[in-house]
Amino acid sequence: MQKICSLVLLLVISTSNMVLAVELSTSSPKRPAASVSINPNKFLSFDLDETLVESNHLGHKELKKARELGYEIKTTVNGQDYIIRPGAIQLLDFAHSQGFEMMILTHNYQKYAQDILESSGLAKYFTNLKAHEDVVKPFNVDFQKYPNHRNRTYPQKSILETYTVDLYQGMLVTTFRRMEGEHNIHSFMPCTNCSKYPPLYGARVHIDNAEQHVEGPPVDFVGILVDDFYADKLEPRNANGDYLWVEKLKADIIYLKQHNWQELYKNKYKKAPVDQKVEIQN
């Protein structure tokens, strides 16, 4: 009986999250169109939260600390608070000046991501947005088609582990924090096959703060890991006052411009990528 109750509870949790994802998807603004022809050597894929902005972990305590540190807290028209990472605009300006196109590949819901991009003015830098509804697919079939898909090359959590973590972090903690009035806390739909696979969208270089999306290493794209950006700490600088994470990425961008993504891959992982033809999804 206990097992049956547990299964029913997990089914309810999963179903409620799926409904939320569908509602967000159908009510979201139209996504910006990607370029018809994509040059992978001049195209960068960026994660959003904790990479370019902070929006998912801005509860009362985090907002108070952010104000103490002098961060500018902005709010979208839908009431979502966020902070643009120091140096983010500088980095995007630099990449654009070097002739790169860019896209956002995030686990955040499309509605929230779009709101933040438009409210912050960051939307102008990106030609495409792929969000939670695109990346997190409970019955993901993309990895079955492509041997190099990230879901095959990086160990995935078991279904039990995924739902257990989601039950605690995604539902219980989120619910209690929302009851306290923390509207910036979101829960995501659990999924055992939800790794980001940038080549599906034409990108062979992806920049992310989460190790599971860029470490391993990837097989047929370059994953660049950056430090997490949270509102409770200052962004490190060098002796000249430049942000360390920006200078690191600028060096990779320059190298990519002078060579190609395959050479950047070999320079980073000390071996050649295992390429495969991918049908690009716009």
- Which pLDDT tens digit goes with each residue over 43-80? 999 999 999 999 877 888 888 999 999 999 999 988 88
Q: Which residue is associated with the tokens 């939307």?
A: 123
User: CA end-to-end span of the chain, whole Å?
Assistant: 46
The pair of structure tokens assigned to 118 is 């438009």
Q: Give the pTM.
A: 0.80
Q: How far apart are CA 249 and CA 245, in angstroms?
A: 6
Sign of the Cα torsion 62, 63, 64, 67 reads positive
The yes-or-no verdict on residue 9 having pLDDT over 60 is no
Q: Which residue is associated with the tokens 């600088």?
A: 237
Structural domains of the chain sorted by starting position, each given as residue range(s) with its CATH number in brackets: 39-156+191-269 (3.40.50.1000)
The yes-or-no verdict on residue 198 having pLDDT over 50 is yes
pLDDT band per the 50, 70, 90 thresholds, residue 147: confident
The yes-or-no verdict on residue 27 having pLDDT over 50 is no
Q: How far apart are CA 193 and CA 181, in angstroms?
A: 32
Q: What is the DSSP string of 72-114?
A: PPEE-TTS-EEEEPTTHHHHHHHHHHTT-EEEEE-SS-HHHHH
Residue-level pLDDT at 65: 94
The yes-or-no verdict on residue 180 having pLDDT over 70 is no
Per-chain mean pLDDT for the chain: 79
